[in-house]
Every structure is written in structure tokens, then in C-alpha cells.
Chains A and B, each alone.
Chain A
Amino acid sequence: MSDDTVQVRLLDIAHTRSGDKGDMANCGVIALRPEWYEVLVQELTTERVRSHFGALISGPVERFELPNLNALNFLLHGALDGGGTLSLKTDAQGKVVSTAMLRMILTVPKTVAAVRGLPVYSPTL
């Protein structure tokens, strides 16, 4: 993080719901305000989401944009340990993958945070 950026918790700017499709989890991320949707588009790239989930998923991440709903939809391949009835996981159907997504902390340019009125996260305060 440089002096030109601030941190923003995804938890503070979006709500999410997830579910299963075979061995994939889907995760919809919905901006809490319409003006924050563009921030999601800029910051929640497939690369960042893939790196956030790390070893929790075994495959790639796909992203679809739904500007009509101020939402992004992610498909997380290989998220469910085989999926459905094969999976031994507590969350075999990916119901709370949505909350793991919300742990993301975004690094946003200060100017963007000011213009969009983003709630800035200051963990040390």
C-alpha cells in the first residue's frame, strides 16, 4: 500500500450469495450502493479473486458482469472437493463461500475512495 491508496473491506461495500454447480461454486457479489459497482469491476479481477481463494479452490475463476443488478458473478472451479454428494466438506454445496469472498480487502486509490464515498478500513485504529 502506498500513500496514494487506502484499504476498503469488501464486507463494507458489498453483499454476497453463493451456491453450487457441480464441483463449481458460484458467488454473486452485489454492490451495497450503485456508485460502488464500478469499484467492484475495477478491483475484483479474476486474478485477485483467484489469489484470495488460494488453496481453497483447485481450478480457475471466471467472472461475469451484471451492471443491471450492480453485481458480479464469479464461478470458482474446483471449489467443492468433488461437489454435491461426493464432497466430504461441511460446506459441500458452497453455501458460505460467499462469506469467504467477503474477507477480501481491496487497495483503492485515495482519489477513487473520495469520489465514490468508500468506507476506508483502518485496522490499526
Chain B
Amino acid sequence: MTRMVRVASGQGFWGDSLDAPKQQVEGGPIDYLMLDYLAEVTMSILQKQKERDPQMGYARDFIGAIESVLPGIVDRGVKVIANAGGVNPVACAHALVKAIARAGHGGTVKVGVVTGDDLLPRIDELLAAGHELKHMETGAPLSTVRDRVLSANAYIGSTPIVEALQQGAQIVVTGRSTDTALTMAPLRHEFGWAADAWNQLAAGIVAGHILECGAQSSGGNCLHDWRNIPDLANVGYPIAEVQSDGTFVITKHPGTGGRVSVPSVTEQLVYEMGDPHSYITPDVVADFTSIHVAADGENRVRVHGITGGPATPFLKVSIAYRAGYKAVGSLVYSWPDAMEKAELAERILRERLDRLGLRFDQVLTEFVGANATHGHLSGDGRDAPEVQFRVGVRGEDRASVERFTREIAPLVLNGPPSVTGFAGGRPKVEEVIAYWPALIDKRVVTTQVEVIS
């Protein structure tokens, strides 16, 4: 007899729906809830928070999410896997244990925590040992930005999460696990897939890829037939019903909105895709040209035929470093001749910035409503009812960026006419955190698992 395991997606990024986790736990049967909180930019924000307060550095929304599902997961025996730990998974796990105790479930719900992905304290040791951490695209050595590095985390796979589940954790908190590992780990734990069962492992990765962006596979942000996708206000998040051989069905709870269809799942499959023959993860290299998708009833899509091969000897490392400052401001110009007025505003502003002698690495102007996203493909935008003139600058010198932010508002009274849309006030200066993707020999990254209650 084939057993089936249901993994539900309840969060596609930090900032996603606060209600989705509860909807997934209470809307129908599931076995696991996976919550993906981390993007590259999230890690550096969390690192800044941790610098200010050593007890911070994790996705605090996660504690509220668990509080919202706690009665449900206790009643139903649902397990939760989340990379909410950010750059401080231990503090996250301890905050979680306290919240569980406050809710009266102390001692019954065990929390597993995975560490070892954080390479920031080890960077100099690694460089000294000959791990160059060269930029994956440019080949530049890390030494060029070493003194500006803010965080450095290896993307770790599913193995330590599986260990935490084997040790009896009902909730597993990780730092920079890959998004797909959050789905893969429960499947390896339940089915006991061997470390070289490449086809099954590849299927786990594909299931993870479909779940990791939340409702983006169940009707959200779906271009195909978008007008007819029902009830997005009540969109159901995706669920993978996985068999031990790695075949699975993507579906959602009954009574929810959105749509699970071959087109909705296929759009998610091609999202952020590189070379489809080798989707590289710490666990397996999956071949996306092997995936077959077929309708399997209403809001059900069957996914099968997936193949994969051995993982590489490397892990990807995401390093964040300080890269100057930026600010973006905008004004809205109205018909008639909205575009011409906006273009005149651009010329005036550039002339004033030149005269001030400010130093920027880049000044970018766009005309939103006319051609900001489609450029020359857009037509001339000459009869637009309004055009947003949007201008951004970026540079190493904070004072120059600060001075730029004072140059937008004056245009309201001393530039072209028919201007509005400035209620937001002066643009804010932001520090730019840039990314440095690198590879590292996976043997030097060791993970630890602890189960606390």
C-alpha cells in the first residue's frame, strides 16, 4: 500500500499573508506545514537587527504564526518546518518555546533548531584556509569587499531538518536552509528515501519549488486566464500530496479561492529558472525537463516522471555587503502633454544635480505609465492621462544622496506645470546591501541539530 504525505505551504516570503498558516492547518487534512520566510534581502535586514539587539535577527512574524496554529497542530499532529530563524535560529527557537509555554503547551510541543549555516564568524578562517569565496558571476575575490561584509550564510539542505524530525521535533526552525529543503525534509523523514535515491529526491525538490512561493502556484500572480480565476480574496495556498515513489498532486483546500491548474503550476515551475537540466540544490541536481504535469480533477494537478542526479560537492553561500546609499523620488505630471512635462522635469533636475557637483554611481530616470517597464516597446505615451516621473540615485557618498532628496520637491513650484503626487514627502535615503554569491566546499560546513522543549 502506498502511503501519502501532505505538505502544505503557508508562507511564500516574510510579509506574506498572516492568515495563510491557520487556513492551511484548519481548512482540511495536512501532515506538514512549511513556511518560507527568507529572501536574500531578508538575511541582511535580520543581521542589522541582530547587531542592534543580540536576541533579534529572526522573522518575528513566525512566533505569531505559530500562536495562530498551535491549537490546530496539537490537535491534529501537524508538524511545522520554517526557515524563520534567519541569522539567529537559536533565539528564534527560544522565543518560540516561551510562546508555546504561554499557550499552555509547554513540554508537549518539541522544537528542533538547526544551526551551522552562519559563516560570518568563520570568514577569515575560511579565507586563510584557501576558500576564496569568489563571486560566482564575476570571479572577483571576496577580499575586495571583505571589510564591508554584513552577513554570510551557506544554503543548507534537508539533512539536518530530517535529523530534527527523527529526534521528535514537532516544529523545526532553521536559518538559511534552501526554500526547497523545507518540503524535502518531511518527505525524506516519512519515506526514508536513500541519500542517492536521485529521482525521488528530485521530485521532492520540484514539489518544494512549487510550494515555496505560496499562492503563486495556486492562482496568485497567474497570467493565464487571470480574469476568470475565482475568489482571490480567499485564495487557497498550495498543498502537495506526495506518494513514496515521488509522484505527487498539487491541490488546495476545498472552499478556498484561486485555482490549481496545469497553467498555474507551469508558471511557477518556470519562475526564476536557470538551466532547466540542472536545478542545483544541496541534496540533488533535479532535471526540470523531466517533469510531467497533467490535470487530475478540479484544482488538482498530477506531477510525475521527475529525474535527478548526484548533488555537487559545493554549497552556495550568500554574502551580503554594504554598497553605498540610494534614494528614489517621484512626481506625477498630468494631461495634457504629461509625458513632455515629465521629460522637461528630468532635464531640469539633471541640470541642477550637475550644477551641485554631486557624485553618484548612477542616476536612473523612468516614466511610469509611459515606458518604465517596457522601454522602447511601449509606444510614445504621448496621450497618457498622467505620467509618474521617477528618479533614483545611488552612490558611495551619503551626503550626495541626502542632497539629491532635497531636489525633488522644489520642482513642484519651480518646474513644469500640472504636477501632483508629492504627498509622500522627501525620499528616504537607504543603505544599499548588495549580494555576493559564492560556492564553498560542502565538507567545511557542518550543521548542528538541537531539540528543546
Contacts and interface: CB of A to CB of B under 8 A. Distances in A.
Interface of A: 15-23, 26, 28, 30, 32, 52, 54-56, 64-71, 73, 75, 81-82, 84-86, 88-91, 96-100, 103
B269 interface: yes
Contacts, number: 123
A23 B390 CA distance: 21
B55 interface: no
25 contacts: A15-B223, A15-B267, A16-B223, A17-B271, A19-B271, A22-B435, A30-B270, A64-B276, A66-B270, A66-B276, A68-B289, A68-B290, A69-B270, A71-B266, A71-B270, A73-B270, A75-B274, A81-B362, A84-B41, A85-B434, A86-B434, A88-B362, A88-B394, A89-B366, A100-B374
Given A26-B274, A66-B289, A90-B366, A15 B263 contact: yes
Where chain B touches its partner, the secondary structure class is mixed
Given A73-B276, A88-B394, A96 B292 contact: no
B373 interface: yes
B295 interface: no
Given A85-B41, A88-B328, A88-B392, A100 B289 contact: no
A30 B266 contact: yes
Given A69-B291, A88-B362, A98 B274 contact: no
Given A23-B137, A64-B277, A88 B372 contact: no
Contacts of B374: 56, 99-100, 103
Contact of A64 (B263, B266, B275, B432): B275
Nearest to B267: A17
Contacts of A30: 224, 263, 266-267, 270
Nearest to B136: A22
A51 to B, nearest CB: 12
A97 B288 CA distance: 22
Contacts of A96: 373
Nearest to B224: A15
B368 interface: yes
A53 to B, nearest CB: 8
B213 to A, nearest CB: 9
Contact of B376 (A54, A65, A71, A84): A54
B312 to A, nearest CB: 17
Given A19-B272, A73-B270, A88 B326 contact: yes
A88 B373 contact: no
A75 B288 CA distance: 15
B263 to A, nearest CB: 6
Nearest to B379: A103
A15 B432 CA distance: 34
A75 B435 CA distance: 19
A84 B293 CA distance: 31
A88 B375 contact: no
Contacts of A32: 224
B393 interface: yes
A112 B441 CA distance: 51
A65 B273 CA distance: 12
Nearest to B223: A15
B272 A20 contact: yes
B394 A86 contact: yes
A82 B291 CA distance: 32
A85 B435 contact: yes
Q: Which 4 A-B pairs have the closest CB atoms?
A: A28-B270, A88-B392, A19-B272, A88-B364
Given A19-B272, A64-B275, A90-B373, A98 B41 contact: no
B269 A69 contact: yes
Given A55-B376, A100-B377, A26 B272 contact: yes
A73 B273 contact: yes
Contacts of A65: 289
B364 A89 contact: yes
B377 A28 contact: no
Given A17-B223, A64-B277, A96-B373, A22 B437 contact: yes
A68 B291 contact: yes
Given A28-B270, A88-B393, 18 more contacts: A15-B267, A17-B270, A21-B272, A22-B437, A28-B271, A56-B377, A64-B273, A64-B275, A66-B276, A68-B290, A69-B291, A71-B266, A73-B273, A84-B41, A88-B328, A88-B362, A88-B364, A90-B390
A84 B291 contact: no
Contact of A69 (B266, B394, B435): B266
